[in-house]
Amino acid sequence: MKKVLFLVGLLALFGGVVLGQGYSTQPADARVMPVGEAGTPYADFELGVQGGTLNRSAIEGPKSWNAHNAKETSTTQFTYLMYGGLLTNDPVGGGIAVQFAKSYEVSEDGFEITFHLREGIMWSDGTPITADDVLFSYDDLTLNEDVDTNQRDSLELPDGTYPISEKIDDYTVKFTISTVYRPILEALGFSIMPKHKLAEFVHKLNPDVPVGTFNETYTLDTPVEDLVSMGPFMVESYQADISVTMVRNPYYYGYDANGVQLPYYDRLITHIVTNEDVQMLKFRNGEVDVYGNRPEDLAILLGEAPTKGFQVMISDDTNYSNNWFVVNQDIGLADEVDNEKRELYRNPKYREALSHLADTDTMIDVIMNGLGKKIWSPVYPISPFYAGRDSYGGEVTEADSFWYEYDPALAISMLDELGVVDQDGDGWRDLPSGAPLTIEFNTNDNTTRTKFCLILTEDFRAAGLNVNFQVVDFNTLVTRLLSSTGDMILLGLAGGGNDAHAPNVYRTCASLFAWRYSSCEEPTELDVRIDELIAAGVSTLDNDEAFEIYKEYQVLVAQRLGYQYLITSTFLYCYYDHVGNGALSNPYATIAGWRLAEFAFDNRL
Amino acid sequence: MKRNGLRALGLATCAVVLVSLIGLTADLASIVSSELIEEISKAAGLALVDEYVLKTVEELEELVATGRTPGIQLAADRALFILNARELELLDMEADALLALAEAGDQDAANMWVMKKRGDFQRPELVEEYLLTVEDDTLAIAAGTLLGGFYVPNSPIGAKTEAELVELAKDGENLGLRVAAATALTAIWIGDQTLTIDQTRAEILGVTLAYPELALAYQGYLAYLFSL
């Protein structure tokens, strides 16, 4: 379930796998998708046929195959296809739907959720999936402090406890919560991983292995034969920096209404390319079937689409993603260096000055052909909880929005007030002590982000800040961000769905609280208040009440100036006419990605 | 602005109108080897590229140099482009090097230069301004092709009607604008698919001398019909 947010690369893999035999007949507990059935979210889906290969591209390969460690889309674009949860969301942005659970019940007081699991379902190696796998994934991975995962963040209840699991029998598990937690069903979508393959690497279960060993399992060096899937696809082969080939999991439990086992495509090949220009060329040449294009590609693609037989989708909606820059407020902390710089970075007036130097209107006009929206909140404008709405799910009026308008003069006066002035006459502002202030500004090899950075850098430098912009690869960038070794970084988040609280990002000890991890030990008053609001927001079952709570939360997060928000983009997507169900791609799920890939098919077959 | 070559057919074309009409039902190979109307021959050639890539590089180089018709030369040229992986070669080149090649008459380099510079052409007026100053036909055609994407009806900015585009393809003030209109018209006609192959060929014959870019639009549409 897409309950947590991930750092976005671009939304975008050998050895051999001995295919299992699969089921001899459709399992009684198969998840039958009502493809094409009126009155269901799948009404507009076409029934497909098995066969063919879907080609997509990515500019970053995976960091691992470990669903619990993954914090970035370059990895989750694969792990989401390999592992599932008890529940998921409908692929057209709808509500909660069963996934590996065939049904669930919530007790009258809302404190007990009982899941009935699908019986007779296998891992891709033919081993049965049971309650033991679910509880292993929950108790021994998700809640295990030795495991580096951001899936735990979503499960912390407002009173600081976690749901308690209980195995009723091999195919029934129960979770008990101690307090009201509205997003509990979404939170219980943690990834289920195979106990029979991984338990031996968990120190808690096998004291012979060191603490943290699990974090070094299912790495890119793991033979693909050892990678076991429960999702629609499994890894067949991986060539670093070249491609990942996934094949249908013969034991996947999804079927269409005609009894055809999903996914329809036999193979899903992800071509790892060097940059977005290559991505675009591969699409234009028909080497890949789908492409999440950028606004700057539109004119070329629109002109070619009819001739080459592809479609260009331009949505009225914005994406479930954002772009921001972040100042590392813990810079030098680990080595006790850069103390004065760190003090400056921690001053909200400094970060506010930077926000006033962000010319988002120009970014949208010049870089995005107008196909974007400037943002100020951690909550996506498409969410019903967005504070720019007049009520829960209401009209977007922006009446209560909190903007940092582009105002270079104001930014300059704020920097002056902070004593960040040019003291040695070299044209660049110095730290108050007179020491030079130089700032390294990074993003990944993404042309749109690069252009955002260039516009920002120009304004930063015009204001006298000695900012040096440099592109680094995505996985390096993520490492710098998560290890607090970056200086200033521009990146984005994706996912998280419609709820507002994003517990893996904005709560003080969250795994993506990357602007100041030290706050976990020493939270500011603002941090404490935001944590309280997150707890309050999830503690009510009344959406209207939650909306009001989240409104204050959003304003305070904006004032905290952790991630300094810039822009969210309009949903754009291209697919060749031969990709059946291609038109169903939407801001929430694309046909080559999580939750929709199993429905894509080659309509030439 | 240099001449673009599209008006270069001259009077010789008139004499072949009848010949062209006679060949309406001939297959593609026959069309490409015998058709004397440039746009029709090229349309057939574009539809034959997938077959031409099965030839050897030597054969293709020979056809590019001495092929009997423009369609054969074009099919061979496009097949060579694929076989030689020229696109990747161009992709790796710096913008300045591409520009130099484009100015020397390399249309593929011009196309790649425009693709790489598309971030500077994010709005139709920016391309239109560029087309007022550009001196090389290769660059005008490449930028005009990009501009055509802004002109298609479903473009969020710059969309034009079919009537406006026909007018622009005929009388646009510069080559790039006329090519842009032609690009968008081809896209519209492929979407509508109201003209048959024979009707499209007849349309080409009617405009090839007076309005070569309008003929180019029909050429694109005819190539699509030939490939079905």
Tell me the DSSP string of chain B: ----STTTTGGGGGGGHHHHHHTTT--HHHHHHH--SHHHHHHHHHHTHHHHTTS-HHHHHHHHHH-SSHHHHHHHHHHHHHHTTHHHHHHTS-HHHHHHHHHTT-HHHHHHHHHHTGGG--SHHHHHHHHHH---HHHHHHHHHHHHHHHSTT-SSS---HHHHHHHHHH-SSHHHHHHHHHHHHHHHHHH--S-HHHHHHHHHHHTTT-HHHHHHHHHHHHHHHH-
Give domain status of residue A188, yes or no.
yes
**Minimal C-alpha gap between A298 and chain B (Å):** 7
Cβ(A484)–Cβ(A517) below 8 Å: yes
- Tally C-beta pairs within 8 A across A and B: 78
Closest chain B residue by Cα to residue A572 = B156
One domain for residues A264 and A341:
no
**Minimal C-alpha gap between A290 and chain B (Å):** 19
Please give the pLDDT value at position A13: 31
Which residues in A126-192 belong to E strands, given as ranges? 164-169, 172-176
Residues in B closer than 8 angstroms to A271, CB to CB, are none
Q: Which two tokens stand for residue B104?
A: 């020397």
One domain for residues A142 and A68:
yes
Q: Flag if A302 and B190 touch (Cβ within 8 Å).
A: no
A-facing residues of B in 23-62 (CB < 8 A) are: none
Please give the pLDDT value at position A591: 84
DSSP result, A340-358: HHHHHHT-HHHHHHHHTT-
Q: Which two tokens stand for residue B32?
A: 């490409």
DSSP result, A21-60: ---SS--TT-EEE-TT-TTSTTTTPPP--S--EEEEEESS
Q: Flag if B220 and A302 touch (Cβ within 8 Å).
A: no
Give domain status of residue A167, yes or no.
yes
One domain for residues A145 and A40:
yes
One domain for residues A39 and A130:
yes
One domain for residues A265 and A393:
no
Q: Which of A284, A302, A308 to mutate to test binding with chain B, by most B CBs within 10 Å of its CB?
A: A302
Would you say residue B129 has pLDDT above 70?
yes
State how far the Cα of A486 lies from the Cα of A440, in Å rounded to an integer: 8
Give domain status of residue A549, yes or no.
no
CATH code for the domain in which residue A466 is found:
3.10.105.10
Which residues are A586's β-sheet partners? A589
Please give the pLDDT value at position A277: 86
SS3 sequence of A285-308: CCCCCEECCCHHHHHHHHHHHHHH
Residues B154-182: what's their mean pLDDT?
A: 95
One domain for residues A89 and A203:
yes
**Minimal C-alpha gap between A220 and chain B (Å):** 28
CATH code for the domain in which residue A34 is found:
3.40.190.10
Residues in B closer than 8 angstroms to A305, CB to CB, are 187
One domain for residues A250 and A363:
no
**In this predicted complex, what is the ipTM?**
0.72
Would you say residue B217 has pLDDT above 80?
yes
Give domain status of residue A551, yes or no.
no
- Cα-Cα-Cα-Cα torsion A246, A23, A129, A269, nearest 10 degrees, comes to 10
Q: Flag if A451 and B191 touch (Cβ within 8 Å).
A: no
Residues in A closer than 8 angstroms to B223, CB to CB, are 307
One domain for residues A251 and A344:
no
pTM of the model: 0.81
Give domain status of residue A508, yes or no.
no
Closest chain B residue by Cα to residue A294 = B119
- Residue A159: what residue type? D
Please give the pLDDT value at position B146: 94
Instruction: Domain of residue A258: give its range.
Output: 5-272+578-602
Cβ(A574)–Cβ(A313) below 8 Å: yes
Residues in A closer than 8 angstroms to B227, CB to CB, are none
B173-191 per-position pLDDT tens digit: 999 999 999 999 999 999 8
Backbone angles phi, psi at A372, to 5 degrees: -165, 175
**Minimal C-alpha gap between A448 and chain B (Å):** 9
Backbone angles phi, psi at A293, to 5 degrees: -80, 165
The total number of structural domains in chain A stands at 2
Give domain status of residue A480, yes or no.
yes
- Mean pLDDT (chain B, rounded): 87
One domain for residues A331 and A252:
no
Q: What is chain A's length?
A: 605
Q: Flag if A299 and B147 touch (Cβ within 8 Å).
A: yes
Backbone angles phi, psi at B162, to 5 degrees: -60, -40
Give domain status of residue A527, yes or no.
no
Instruction: Choose among B123, B146, B220: nearest Cβ to A300.
Output: B146
One domain for residues A358 and A261:
no
B15-66 per-position pLDDT tens digit: 333 334 334 434 888 899 888 899 999 999 999 998 999 999 999 999 999 9
Would you say residue B13 has pLDDT above 50?
no
Block means of pLDDT (10 residues each) for chain A, length 605 residues? Answer: 53 38 92 89 92 94 92 89 90 79 92 96 96 98 92 87 97 96 87 96 96 95 95 96 96 95 97 89 94 88 92 87 94 94 97 97 83 92 90 93 96 98 97 97 87 93 96 89 93 75 85 93 95 90 91 96 94 95 86 86 96
One domain for residues A411 and A468:
yes
Give domain status of residue A329, yes or no.
yes
One domain for residues A199 and A333:
no
